[in-house]
Structures are given as structure tokens and as C-alpha cells.
Amino acid sequence: MKNRIKKQTMLMLALALVAGLTMTAIAQEPTDAEILRAIDEARFLEADYVSEVMEIVATRPGEEEQEAAVRISYGTIAGDVFRLRIDNLAPEENVGQSFLILEDESVLLCTPGLEMPLAISGGTSVFGDSTVSTTAGIQFENDYEILSRAEDEFDGAQVLRIEVQGIVEGLAYPTATVWVDPETFRPLQVVLYALSGDPLNRITYDEYAELDGDQYLVKQTIETLLFDDFSTVLTITEISTELLVEGLLDPETFCRPESEDE
């Protein structure tokens, strides 16, 4: 995972991409790496540490909506090591279940009663259609490379469509298609594929917000493409930048019983 920092090049990249799409200044087109970096930076706060509370609402045909809540904590430790943690806050039966995503994209699971974390896939469900990887947020810059990019239309507007392929072993979604607003670099939608090439999920990036002038993604909808009318909406209800709680992102203490910390 990358450290989610430094957005000072966003305007320059946006202007260059608009020029590239209109074919008036091909030489100024941004590089693939710059596009992937900008897609990530459009969705996440620029901070060394971020804490979020996220509401998750899952809808199934013929059933009542199911609700959950998680806390997402991410930041850098030991200089530039980036890690992310998901803690279940609700419903009650999920409380105590936590996921830790390490810098090499491996994922650890801790549940009540475990003394040692379990290694799991990033495709493991957190709630509804949202997996560990999609709840945390897909990281494109360091995990994927662009195979192709082309002009396309999305909701009647001209956009950039890019096809990406994973360059890190063990990714939950080896390939993806991303539709990007060429003026803001905000991703509008992504389709995630299985190793077989079959489409698994469509994520629509519905709403962005700002904190102290810094933009982040606040609401997204995940639809499974395996079943009709299954969807899960993720909305950040609280967000802040704080000092990192000591040991929070440390795999050595991830599943330590509370009595050992006293």
C-alpha cells in the first residue's frame, strides 16, 4: 500500500490529461504512474494517520436492510510503512472482529478467543457485498499497472477508461476497469474481476467531501455482479486525523488478549 500523501501535482495532471484526451497536446499526457497516483489521492485524505467510522447498509431482494458499522484506522509507522486496520463496531455479533492489512497486502484476521491472528484473503467479506479490500479502499498506485486507456462516456460525459492489472501477488481482484473524470481525477466507477476474468463487483463512487480543504471519498455503492439487485452502501459518518494509537497497527500485538496489556 502507498502512503496517501502529496496532492500538489493534481491540477497539473488534470490539465495534462484533458489536453491528452482532446488530442491537442499529446506530449503533455500524464504517465500511467501519475494517473494511478491521482486516482488514489482523489479518494483519501493527506495525513499521516486517519480514523474513520463507516456505516454499511446491505440490501437484498425481499429482505429488510441490514446495517453495520466499522472503524477504519490507517497510517504510517517506522518512517514509511503503511498499514490499515478495520474494527467491527456493529452489529453486536461482529464486535471484536478486526482485520489488519499489512504493507505487502497480506491480511490478518483477529476474532474473540484467538491468541494468534489468521492469514486470510482480501476478498473476505466484512459485511454485505463489501470485502476487506473494498472496505479499506482499493489502492491502485503501487498494486496495479495500466494495460490500456481510452476515451469513453459515463452518464453522458466524456471520461477516461483505464484497464489495470495487479502487480502484487495475492490481490483479491487481479484486474479492474476504472472510469475517471479527466478534469478532477475523481474515479467515478470501477468494475473488479476475478482471476478467471469474470466480473465480481461494480463500485460507484457516489459522493466526495472535504476536511480542511482536503478531498476524500465519503460514499460509495458496491454491487455484486453475481446476483441481481444485491447492493451495499458505505458511508463515512465520522473522520479525523489524530495521533496514531501505539501498537494499533502492529501485527505482533494485533490479537493480544486485553489482560496482557494491563
Identify the CATH number of the domain defined by range 10-256. Answer: 2.50.20.10
- What does DSSP assign to residue 29? P
Centroid of chain to Cα 42: 11
pLDDT at 46: 86
pLDDT at 13: 52
> What is the pTM (predicted TM-score) of this model?
0.86
pLDDT reported for residue 66: 97
Asked whether the beta carbons of 70 and 86 are under 8 A apart, the reply is yes
Give backbone dihedrals phi and psi of 165, rounded to 5 degrees, phi first. Answer: -130, 140
Domain boundaries, the chain: 10-256
Closest by CA position to 58, among listed 223, 262, 252, 242: 223
Query: Pseudo-torsion of CA 8, 14, 20, 24, nearest 10°?
Result: -100
Asked whether the beta carbons of 232 and 127 are under 8 A apart, the reply is yes
Per residue of the chain (262 residues), give pLDDT as tens. Answer: 444 444 444 544 554 454 444 444 444 788 999 999 999 999 999 888 999 999 999 999 999 999 999 999 998 877 778 899 999 999 999 999 999 999 989 999 999 988 899 999 999 999 999 999 999 999 999 899 999 999 999 999 999 999 999 999 989 999 999 999 998 889 999 999 999 999 999 999 999 999 999 999 999 999 999 999 999 999 999 999 977 777 889 998 898 755 444 4
